[in-house]
């Protein structure tokens, strides 16, 4: 048996704000907030399912440079253009990391500047 990803930990300056943003993006819910300010979000069924949970861990240092790991998302109930509009309204912003403009995906950043991509394919 192989491993599977169960959690992704994201260092950030405002865990509550990022948790709220990513809950909106992914349809997740807050699962737990600990005394150290770490906020865990995940699918409504909780930890251990097919989707990993996200933990937002507070740090004081600002993000510097491009992330070495980023999240890709796909719309599930609308086309890419409609999902892009929804993500922008939720607080995402377009970012340029050197793309040509011919890509089939959109490069965005969350409220703390963490890059992620909205892919074209709609998933069910």
CATH of the domain at 103: 3.30.720
- Total tally of structural domains belonging to the chain: 2
SS (H, E, C) 78-117: CCHHHHHHHHHHHCCEECCCCCCCCCCCEEEECCCCCEEE
Residues 124 and 83 in one domain: yes
Report pLDDT for 48.
87
Angle in degrees, 0-180, between the axes of helices 15-26 and 80-90, rounded to the nearest 10: 160
Report pLDDT for 104.
96
Report pLDDT for 82.
97
Residues 10 and 36 in one domain: yes
Range of the domain at 55: 1-60
The angle formed by the CA atoms of residues 79, 85 and 68, to the nearest 5 degrees, is 90
Residues 83 and 97 in one domain: yes
Residues 68 and 106 in one domain: yes
Q: What does pTM read for this prediction?
A: 0.91
Report pLDDT for 1.
67
Residues 38 and 1 in one domain: yes
Report pLDDT for 68.
83
Residues 72 and 35 in one domain: no
Q: Which portions of the chain are predicted below pLDDT 70?
A: 1
Residues 75 and 106 in one domain: yes
How far is the CA of 98 from the CAs of 68, 95, 118, in angstroms?
15, 9, 16
Residues 50 and 103 in one domain: no
Among the three residues 13, 42, 60, which one is the final residue of a domain in this structure? 60
Among the three residues 17, 32, 60, which one is the final residue of a domain in this structure? 60
Report pLDDT for 64.
85
Residues 33 and 68 in one domain: no
């Amino acid at each position: 048996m192989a491993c599977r990803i169960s959690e992704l930990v994201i260092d950030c300056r405002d865990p509550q704000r990022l948790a709220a943003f990513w809950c909106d993006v992914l349809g997740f819910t807050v699962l737990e907030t600990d005394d150290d300010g770490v906020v865990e979000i995940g699918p409504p069924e909780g930890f251990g399912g097919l989707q990993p949970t996200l933990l937002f861990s507070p740090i004081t240092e600002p993000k510097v440079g491009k992330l070495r790991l980023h999240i890709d998302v796909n719309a599930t109930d609308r086309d890419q253009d409609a999902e892009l509009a929804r993500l922008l309204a939720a607080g995402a912003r377009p970012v340029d990391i050197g793309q040509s403009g011919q890509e089939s995906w959109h490069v965005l950043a969350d409220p703390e500047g963490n890059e992620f991509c909205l892919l074209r394919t709609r998933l069910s």
